[in-house]
Chains A and B, each alone.
Chain A
Amino acid sequence: MQKREVIVLELIAISDLYGDERVLRELLPVLNKTEKDNRIAIVAGDIALNAVSPGYYNEVKKILLSLAEYMAHVFYVPGDSDAHDLNFSADNVTNLDKRHYLLKSGNLKIGLIGLGGAPKHSVRVGEPLTYLWDENIQVVADGLKSELKIQLEKVMLERPDYLVLVTHAPPYGVADRSMLISLNEILALEEILQDAGLRMVREEQEKPRIARNPRHLGSKVIGEFAKYYKPDLHIFGHVHKQGGKADSEGWTKSFNVSHLSPIPYKLTGRKFLYMRLERKGIDWHFESVVVKNLPFHDFIEAYL
């Protein structure tokens, strides 16, 4: 039997769920289960928290499988809060960390490559995060670059229509400006305070000194790779403050998709990247999972 040609592929991209199933409960009803054949999802890391806890793998599995019910295929990379050796896979769930995948859907070929984890300089010292790399060490940076290049070469042999780079960390200088990432909620408050023009006084004995100014938290390794090898799409998360930002400078279209979860920024949360891919081009926007028809007053009560 001749396979039906797919003209349009839907792509959903999210990240930084931190094991919060409520987020998925809000997202999934927006998607139609019966039309899942032409839809794929990308989860750009930080799927669950506390990678050393016994329930961690079950949590990750639960999230990815519930998402997979609505998708033809789910691709993911682990984030800094995920286990370094996270390797869950199912029929339609694939880990892209330092791997590649060629997705054939009708007449469309999509090449995917990925890199999980985050650079050490993007998180606060002493945070209990499990997947970090120090790109300031030359040998580490070279290693990461080589991994990405190898995967790129492999996937490019198939001449895909689109090349998608999926990383948890943003490239340096693109949608990556924020305070250092922390899991501690109080630090989220600190950032809100800073926005309000206030400053939180910390105890004198608290060492080392905590940087209070926003800075670029992206990875130079990823930035350089994207600059030289020009994937068509680059999907990443990690820096919540910049979630929902897209950058189209140069060839690559970059998307920070870290704002589905309302943690820690209720104000910018509850959105995911929705994209329609065709051979002739792509069409994208950030779609919200909120109930749009609520009157303004009720909307504030419900979501803020």
Chain B
Amino acid sequence: MDRCGLRVGKSLREYQQPVVDEILKIFSEEKKKNVFISMPQGTGKTIIAIAALSELVNRGEAKNVLVLLPRRVLVDQWLDKTQEIFYGLSLMKNPTLSKMGIEKIKGWLKYFGALGMAMTAHSFKNFTKRGYLFDDDFDLVIVDEAADLVVAKDFVEGFRMSEWLKGLEEWKNRKIFLMPYHISERKIKEIVNKFGMNESALIRRNVPEAMLSHLRCTVHDPILIDDPVVDEFVLALQEHCGKIRANVNRILKKHGIKGHVENLETLLNPRTMERLKKIYCLDEETATYLQVMISKYILVQHLKKWFLYSNRKELERSILASQINVGRWLNSEDKKLEELARVVRSYLEKNYKVYIFSQYISSAEVIDEFLKKKLNLKPRDITLITGLDEDQFIKLDGFKRGGLILVSTPVFDKGTDIPEADAMIVYTPPLSIEKLFQVIGRIRGGDILFLAYRGFEQSIIEEVAEKLRKAFAEARGDSSGIDRNL
């Protein structure tokens, strides 16, 4: 009898088995060390990896496994899923160095028959930094949510390994990396490059049939809010940003410094600045001037966001609150929140469960407070979950069972499904389309709605919505790209 395998009544989906076979083939026949799997959300990449692991264990090719995930809660979820679908795969979760020594941890693995351990990338960094874990401790490493393995640093450094998983690229054992389908080809290439082209294979599959059953999303046109005063403020701030940017770019050009134009913030990194000083003979005064201008640029960007995303609390504390027009605006009603309340009410009347996404904790708190008052909600009706909460999954469970509205920051952007939500309102969008797609993928179908002030924000949000439609269409395998009703 096999040491491990699928539990009775459980089976892989039709498209999953060929991927498992391909992974095994790459390892055993092609003798490659690294397999990168890029598939859409909801297609069961984790199950594929566990199935491959199970097969390797049965073949005797995997005796010690290391599973790496970005967050502690995802480690728990990963192991729960493993136990639910497979038998014979026991992993030690989140071993904590501060509570037990490495020898004790290794002893547990050896004498209690655990197949390996699952931990966060953060713990991995701590273990490797202290020299407690090496590649020969494991036959196989599985990295889930591996899209963040590399981060785009700057012009000089280009893509670099994530600080948490640094060193993993040097490990010589077998590795399986799981990534969503919607990450740029350039990024995938950079990730694969880090681990060696010859040693690596990429399985990138779109699974339109799976997508169709999982992601029936309708991306609506943004709801526009008329508040010319906000638009006026935001445009003025935008113009100010433009001026600073032009000024900084002029100085960079004068000194022949290429790159950094897209991410001016990288110039605030002292190491980068020191390097630029050496390479381009940048004097101290210019360097300081650049840093002052860029920090000003960041401040103005903050202000813009505060205006757009109802962060009146911060605005009231800022010096802008003293400006006569801003002061008047702060004393008037927040039209965006009013519109949000109207939309939420209409969904609740249709017996929909609503998920409101906000990139920022402060906005999420404002939304929670406002809706409670405006819609006269009971505490159990609305659930606010942010990175500040320790009991995120207990709260999420509360929403799934009996809640009506979930207000959340990006805490559930990876690996957590919230199929109970029928509609998602994106109050403040995430920083990239890739992240937005991940966030929206959580609800597994439904209405997607954006709110935007007419004018400056409108153009941005309309573009975001359009890109999202394209991304959905692409995931569905629709070559025409744009489809409003998927």
Contacts and interface: CB of A to CB of B under 8 A. Distances in A.
Interface string A262-304: 0000111111000000000000000010101110110111011
Given A294-B323, A296-B325, A196 B317 contact: no
A297 B299 CA distance: 15
Interface of B: 232-233, 236-237, 239-240, 265, 268-271, 291, 295-296, 298-303, 317-327, 431
A121 interface: no
A196 B301 contact: yes
B268 A292 contact: no
Given A271-B319, A288-B321, A296-B323, 16 more contacts: A189-B268, A192-B298, A192-B299, A193-B265, A200-B269, A201-B270, A245-B317, A266-B296, A266-B319, A267-B299, A268-B318, A270-B319, A290-B323, A292-B323, A299-B323, A303-B319
A298 to B, nearest CB: 10
A28 to B, nearest CB: 17
B323 A189 contact: no
A288 B319 contact: yes
Contacts of B269: 200-201
21 contacts: A186-B270, A193-B268, A195-B302, A196-B298, A198-B265, A200-B269, A200-B270, A201-B270, A267-B299, A267-B303, A268-B318, A270-B319, A271-B319, A288-B322, A292-B322, A296-B236, A296-B325, A299-B320, A300-B300, A301-B240, A304-B240
A203 interface: yes
B317 A268 contact: yes
A272 to B, nearest CB: 12
B265 A290 contact: no
Contacts of A117: none
Contacts of B320: 267, 299
A198 B326 CA distance: 29
Nearest to A294: B323
Contacts of B236: 296-297, 300
A271 B319 CA distance: 8
Most buried by B among A195, A197, A299: A299
A294 B324 CA distance: 8
A203 B271 contact: yes
A78 interface: no
Majority SS at the chain A contact face: loop
Contact of B319 (A196, A290, A296): A290
Contacts of A196: 265, 298, 301-302
Nearest to A269: B319
A267 B302 contact: yes
Interface string A241-278: 00011000000000000000000001111110000000
Nearest to B274: A203
Given A196-B265, A200-B268, A200-B270, A267 B318 contact: yes
A292 B300 contact: no
- 5 closest A-B pairs by beta carbon, nearest first, are A288-B322, A299-B323, A244-B317, A290-B322, A297-B236
Contacts of A293: 324
A294 B153 CA distance: 40
A142 B3 CA distance: 65
Given A201-B271, A290-B322, A189 B295 contact: yes
B323 A267 contact: no
A292 B327 contact: yes
Contacts of A292: 322-324, 327
B84 to A, nearest CB: 35
A245 B317 CA distance: 8
Contacts of A297: 236, 239
Contacts of A267: 299, 302-303, 318-320
B385 to A, nearest CB: 19
Contacts of B321: 288
A299 B323 CA distance: 7
Contacts of A198: 265, 268
Interface in A155-203: 186, 189, 192-193, 195-198, 200-203
A245 B313 CA distance: 11
A297 B289 CA distance: 22
Contacts of A301: 240
Contacts of B319: 266-271, 288, 290, 303
A45 to B, nearest CB: 21
B232 A296 contact: yes
A227 B324 CA distance: 38
A304 B296 contact: yes
A266 B303 CA distance: 12
A34 B431 CA distance: 54
Contacts of A294: 323
Interface centre among A245, A296, A299, by most B CB within 10 Å?
A: A296
A304 B292 CA distance: 11
Contacts of B303: 267
Contacts of B299: 192, 266-267, 304
A8 B317 CA distance: 27
A223 B270 CA distance: 37
Nearest to A287: B322
A192 B303 CA distance: 13
A189 B264 CA distance: 14
A12 B79 CA distance: 60
A273 to B, nearest CB: 13
B79 to A, nearest CB: 28
A300 B326 CA distance: 12
A244 B320 CA distance: 13
A245 B299 CA distance: 20
A31 B190 CA distance: 61
Nearest to B237: A300
Nearest to B303: A267
Contacts of B324: 292-293
Contacts of B431: 197
A304 B300 CA distance: 8
B300 to A, nearest CB: 6
B354 to A, nearest CB: 26
B245 to A, nearest CB: 14
A264 to B, nearest CB: 9
Nearest to B316: A244
